[in-house]
């Protein structure tokens, strides 16, 4: 498989990889087909162990609290999404046409879950030692970014911290509109700072749309600061 070449692992049991790359929306349209939800559960545990062991051995100057924070930055949706993009993972996932039409191949949560499923498939196919090596090969860049605190988990919190460094500023999130059927509703939100709209975002939950509005505002803030330097 092209995907095996991309991630540098060739499976003995191809069905494990097929399951890891199968979304529930696709399996629901085909009888008796396995999909990746249970593999995600297992992959999360394998990933946590591999990263915990690595940072424990290699960041000996950090306290337990600092290691916990570092691990949270490495093992999070944002980091998993970065790995998924590097793998071009969205191109290889089997999903329903409906899921694809609504942006499934680019959806961060869906891609992050699939990365965990692939990690579990490697573990089941080739054992823990290879699974740990696999994780470290593909997450070392993430470890470096996390150690430099360059991975943002919560754009809303980051925006608030930056803007309120010099005092209180009113930050409000407003729902602009929503559209689509109840099971696939899309939300459009904006962030208003001191009565000025600073960012807009859209997503398949109100929370996601607000986070992306905050991300948009952060980008504009950084550009404005750079232009003043």
Annotated binding site for Mg(2+): 40, 113, 116
Strands (E), the chain: 171-179, 186-193, 196-203
44 included as an active-site residue? yes
Catalytic entry in 99, 116, 125, 210: 116
Catalytic entry in 2, 37, 44, 208: 44
Residue among 46, 48, 47 nearest 68 (CA): 48
116 included as an active-site residue? yes
Side-chain-side CA neighbours of residue 203 (13 Å):
18
> Residue 193 forms beta bridges with which residues?
171, 196
Residues whose CB falls within 8 Å of the CB of residue 182, separated by 6 or more in sequence, listed in order: none
Radius of gyration of the chain (CA): 20
- Contact criterion met (CB below 8 Å) for 193 and 175: no
Q: How far apart are the first and last CA of the chain?
A: 49
Q: DSSP 3-state helix, strand, coil percentages of the chain (rounded to 5)?
A: 65, 10, 25
Sign of CA dihedral 131, 133, 134, 136: positive
Give me the active site residues, please.
Answer: 44, 116
């Amino acid at each position: 498989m092209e995907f095996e070449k991309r991630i540098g692992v060739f499976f003995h049991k191809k069905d494990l990889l097929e399951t890891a790359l199968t979304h529930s929306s696709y399996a629901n349209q085909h009888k008796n087909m396995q999909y990746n939800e249970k593999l995600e559960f297992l992959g999360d545990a394998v990933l946590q162990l591999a990263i915990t062991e690595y940072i424990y051995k290699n960041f000996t100057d950090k306290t337990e609290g600092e290691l916990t924070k570092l691990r949270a930055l490495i093992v999070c949706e944002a980091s998993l999404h970065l790995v998924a993009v590097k793998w071009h993972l969205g191109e290889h996932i089997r999903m329903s046409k409906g899921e694809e039409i609504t942006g499934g191949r680019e959806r961060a949560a869906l891609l992050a879950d699939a990365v965990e499923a692939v990690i579990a498939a490697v573990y089941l196919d080739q054992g823990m030692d290879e699974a740990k090596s696999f994780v470290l090969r593909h997450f070392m860049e993430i470890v470096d970014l996390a150690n430099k605190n360059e991975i943002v988990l919560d754009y809303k919190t980051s925006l608030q911290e930056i803007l309120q460094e010099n005092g209180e500023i009113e930050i409000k999130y407003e729902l602009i509109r929503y559209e689509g059927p109840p099971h696939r509703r899309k939300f459009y939100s904006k962030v208003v700072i001191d009565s000025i709209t600073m960012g807009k975002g859209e997503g398949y939950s109100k929370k996601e749309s607000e986070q992306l509005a905050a991300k948009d505002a952060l980008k504009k803030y950084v550009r404005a600061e750079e232009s003043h330097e």
